Amino acid sequence: MLKILPCAFILIGLFEVWVKRELIEKHLGEESGIKGYIWITLFAGTIAGGLLVAFPIAYSLYNKGAKLSIVFTYIGAAAICRIPMTLFEISFMGVKFSMIRLLVSLPLVIVTSILLEKYLIKKNYKMIKEK
């Protein structure tokens, strides 16, 4: 992890500076629809470093205008469908098991994220902004 984290945090910093808010709002914002969930799942699959890297990226996505349910989906997908982890799982459990696990768990993550977002909106949840 000591080799991965410094590089990951540098990339997160570059993401903060280089990626425009409008791009995130367009593809992952309130009007993104199902495409936003597809994009964020593909993005989460490429993360190296696990949730240690995923949480700062999720915070950055939220600050740039990503919908709350998409941020939750990103965290869940980063935990369950990273490409290196899936390849490792396939080598031990087989392709059939891995595909069934992904086909069951990803829709559950998305549905849970949507329900959690609706619950938090109903309770008037607000993220505390930095000063």
Q: How far apart are CA 29 and CA 66, in angstroms?
A: 4
Q: How far apart are CA 72 and CA 4, in angstroms?
A: 23
- Which residue from 70, 80, 79, 75 is spatially nearest to 117, judged by alpha carbons? 70
Q: What is the pLDDT at residue 73?
A: 96
- Decide if 85 contacts 116 (C-beta within 8 A): no
Helices (H), the chain: 4-18, 21-28, 34-45, 51-63, 68-80, 83-93, 95-122
Q: What is the mean pLDDT of residues 60-73?
A: 93
pLDDT range class, residue 104, cuts 50, 70, 90: very high
Backbone φ, ψ for residue 57 (5° rounding): -65, -40
Q: What is the pLDDT at residue 75?
A: 95
Q: What is the pLDDT at residue 130?
A: 64
Which pLDDT tens digit goes with each residue over 110-130? 999 999 999 999 998 877 766
For residue 131, pLDDT over 70 is answered with no
Write down the domain spans for the chain.
21-122
Which pLDDT tens digit goes with each residue over 13-66? 998 899 999 999 999 999 988 999 999 999 999 887 778 888 999 999 998 999
